[in-house]
């Protein structure tokens, strides 16, 4: 014990900026430009630094060494440190608000949603929605990609998880709920709108749950959650099932819509990507748009590389926020008890030691070197092809790391692979409208996604 105390005494304090009203200034700077804030502090201090986020003292850790140490001490970093409005709207049934046995039981209850058998069962629904979505855009010749993707994903994941698509009131409620999550105060009108929206969504899921029990609709969440036992070994209550379903649809829709938009933004600058995706799909017999195929058919390494590069270069968010309950150390820095700690993937995403030429969009960095049928290694023009395929979990964690990492990443990646193939099959080229030639407008908090008015103009096969 004495040795541990002496070790803590010898640790360095976290490097950080200081000055008048620094907590307020740091919090506002982060809210204005989260990615730029993290990159700037990383350049100044390195991958571990102190700051103030959401008006609370925060330790930001990134890079494999620091993240590995973060996972080692994670049991001491369990209590949620999300803003008060987010905490209230996410409810006690939300996994992000939970710790200990309750959190373990909730995550265990989610896990079956994303096993191979259930992912296979979702394929026809995903393929149907992606076909309709891409064909409609091809016919119109234009799309407000973020807005349209959000509406698509709301209906897609509502059908998967809750048995049927949403009506207009429910769509608007989900959007109001998402917009309210990072209200700076529970006294603001945006928070009250979020509370009202949550009530509407909980009631709609309770109604769907009752119809599920009557055999009138399906719904993966209803089916799986109805068999779950809580931390007291009792069946999940109807309220917990309904609320967990709301949160599952919310978590899926905004993340996938953001990733769809990011993929198209990056791919439009790289026209050869489309040919590679189409060739890969053809080789896997995915040319028939009405055939959803099997999970193995959608094992598309290049398309997966595209979406992973999009997650790396345009990450939808940073890490989660938890409070350490005791003094801890990470890479020689002392982090006092009561400090918010976040493992941020954006730091590692641009480390040259992990990603050579880190600012380059290069899907082949994710593709392991392949051997052809004649036994020769296939040659890639990318000098660092396959380098990212060997990264440890501490070097690549787009959905977060540790016990609070995103459980739905396999479904998100499957959905976007299907989207990319179906988009490329009907649309030849796309470009942002003229008013956005200089820069793309983004909503940055809580999720990076283009603003609803950002428009893509497309050329389909029939119009070109």
User: Looking at residue 235, what DSSP letter applies?
Assistant: B
pLDDT in tens, 131-156: 999 999 999 999 999 999 999 999 99
pLDDT in tens, 110-128: 999 999 999 999 999 999 9
Residue 18 lies in a domain: yes
Average pLDDT over residues 389-407: 90
Residue 143 belongs to some domain of the structure? no
Please report whether residue 421 resides in a domain.
Answer: no
The kind and range of the H/E element at 456 are strand 456-460
Would you tell me how many other CB atoms lie within 10 Å of the CB of residue 232?
8
pLDDT of residue 182: 78
CA-to-CA distance for 262 and 76, rounded, in angstroms?
35
| pLDDT of amino acid 32 | 93
Q: pLDDT confidence of 457, banded at 50, 70, 90?
A: very high
27-31, 375-379, 391-395: least confident range: 375-379
- Is residue 380 pLDDT above 80, yes or no? no
Residues 163, 212: Cα–Cα separation, whole Å:
8
| Among the listed residues 4, 16, 7, 36, the one whose alpha carbon sits nearest the alpha carbon of residue 439 | 36
pLDDT band for position 405 (cuts 50, 70, 90): confident
Strand 56-61 vs strand 48-53: parallel, antiparallel, or unpaired?
antiparallel
Model confidence over 415-425: pLDDT tens digits? 999 999 999 99
Q: What average pLDDT does range 201-218 have in this prediction? A: 98
pLDDT averaged over every residue in the chain = 92
Percent of the chain beyond pLDDT 70? 95
Predicted pLDDT at 375: 46
**Side-chain half-sphere CA neighbours of 166 within 13 A:** 28
440: burial class by Cβ within 10 Å (0-12, 13-18, 19+)?
A: middle
pLDDT tens sequence across 222-269: 999 999 999 999 999 999 999 999 999 999 999 999 999 999 999 998
At residue 259, the pLDDT reads 98
Query: Per residue in 278-322, pLDDT tens?
Result: 999 999 999 999 999 999 999 999 999 999 999 999 999 998 899
Residue 92 has pLDDT above 80, yes or no: yes
302 CB-near residues (< 8 Å, 6+ apart): 276, 277, 280, 363, 364, 367
What is the count of structural domains for the chain? Answer: 1
Q: Say if residue 4's pLDDT is above 60.
A: no
Q: Which contacts of 264-271 are long-range, i.e. CB under 8 A and separated by 24 or more positions?
A: 264/145, 264/423, 264/430, 264/456, 265/314, 265/432, 265/440, 265/450, 266/306, 266/309, 266/310, 266/313, 266/314, 266/361, 267/306, 267/420, 268/429, 268/430, 268/431, 268/432, 268/456, 269/361, 270/361, 271/429
Model confidence band, residue 77 (pLDDT cutoffs 50, 70, 90): confident
**Domain containing 72: what range?**
1-92+322-358
71, part of any domain:
yes
| Res. 463: pLDDT tops 50 | no
Residue at 66 is within a domain: yes
Q: Is residue 65 part of a domain?
A: yes
From 87-101, 109-123, 343-357, the region with the lowest mean pLDDT = 87-101
Binned at pLDDT 50, 70 and 90, residue 99 comes out as: confident
The pLDDT-based confidence of 378 (bands split at 50, 70, 90) is: low
Q: Is there a contact between 252 and 410 (Cβ–Cβ < 8 Å)?
A: no
Please tell me the predicted confidence (pLDDT) of residue 379.
Answer: 52
Q: d(Cα 399, Cα 136) in Å, to the nearest integer? A: 30
Model pTM score: 0.93
Q: What is the pLDDT of residue 362?
A: 96
Give the confidence band of 192 by pLDDT, cuts at 50, 70, 90: very high
- The answer to whether residue 53 is domain-embedded is yes
Cα(368)–Cα(316) distance, integer angstroms = 25
Residue 125 in domain: no
């Amino acid at each position: 014990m004495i040795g541990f105390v002496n070790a803590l005494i010898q640790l360095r304090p976290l490097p950080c900026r200081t000055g008048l009203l620094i907590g307020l200034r740091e919090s506002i700077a982060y809210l204005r430009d989260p990615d730029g804030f993290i990159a700037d502090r990383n350049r100044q201090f390195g991958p571990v630094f102190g700051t103030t986020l959401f008006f609370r003292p925060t330790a930001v850790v990134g890079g494999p060494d620091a993240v590995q140490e973060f996972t080692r001490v994670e049991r001491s970093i369990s209590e949620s440190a999300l803003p008060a409005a987010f905490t209230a709207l996410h409810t006690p049934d939300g996994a992000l608000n939970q710790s200990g046995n309750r959190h373990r039981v909730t995550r265990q209850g989610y896990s079956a949603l994303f096993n191979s058998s259930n992912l296979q069962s979702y394929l026809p629904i995903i393929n149907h929605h992606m076909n309709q979505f891409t064909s409609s855009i091809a016919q119109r010749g234009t799309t407000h990609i973020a807005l349209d993707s959000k509406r698509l994903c709301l209906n897609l994941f509502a059908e998967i998880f809750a048995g049927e698509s949403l009506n207009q009131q429910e769509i608007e409620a989900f959007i109001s709920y998402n917009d309210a999550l990072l209200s700076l105060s529970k006294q603001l009108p945006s928070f009250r709108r979020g509370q009202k929206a949550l009530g509407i969504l909980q009631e709609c899921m309770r109604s769907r749950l009752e119809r599920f029990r009557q055999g009138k609709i399906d719904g993966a969440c209803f089916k799986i959650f109805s068999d779950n036992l809580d931390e007291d070994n009792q069946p999940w209550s109807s309220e917990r099932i309904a609320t967990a379903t709301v949160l599952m649809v919310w978590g899926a829709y905004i993340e996938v819509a953001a990733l769809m938009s990011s993929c198209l933004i990056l791919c439009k600058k790289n026209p050869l990507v489309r040919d590679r995706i189409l060739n890969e799909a053809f080789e896997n017999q995915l040319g028939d748009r009405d055939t959803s195929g099997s999970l193995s058919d959608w094992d598309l390494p290049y398309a997966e590389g595209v979406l992973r590069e999009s997650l790396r270069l345009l990450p939808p968010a940073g890490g989660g926020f938890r409070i350490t309950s005791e003094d801890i150390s990470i890479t020689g820095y002392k982090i006092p008890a009561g400090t918010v700690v976040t493992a941020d993937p954006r730091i590692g995403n641009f480390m040259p030691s992990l990603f050579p030429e880190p600012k380059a969009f290069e899907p082949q960095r994710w593709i392991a070197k392949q051997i052809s049928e004649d036994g020769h290694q296939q040659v890639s023009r990318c000098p660092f092809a396959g380098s990212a395929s060997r990264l440890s979990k501490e070097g690549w964690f787009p959905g977060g790391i540790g016990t609070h990492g995103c459980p739905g990443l396999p479904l998100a990646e499957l959905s976007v692979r299907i989207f990319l193939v179906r988009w490329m099959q009907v649309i030849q080229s796309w470009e942002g409208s003229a008013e956005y030639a200089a820069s793309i407008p983004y909503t940055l908090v809580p999720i990076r996604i283009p603003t609803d008015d950002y428009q893509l103009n497309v050329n389909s096969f029939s119009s070109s």
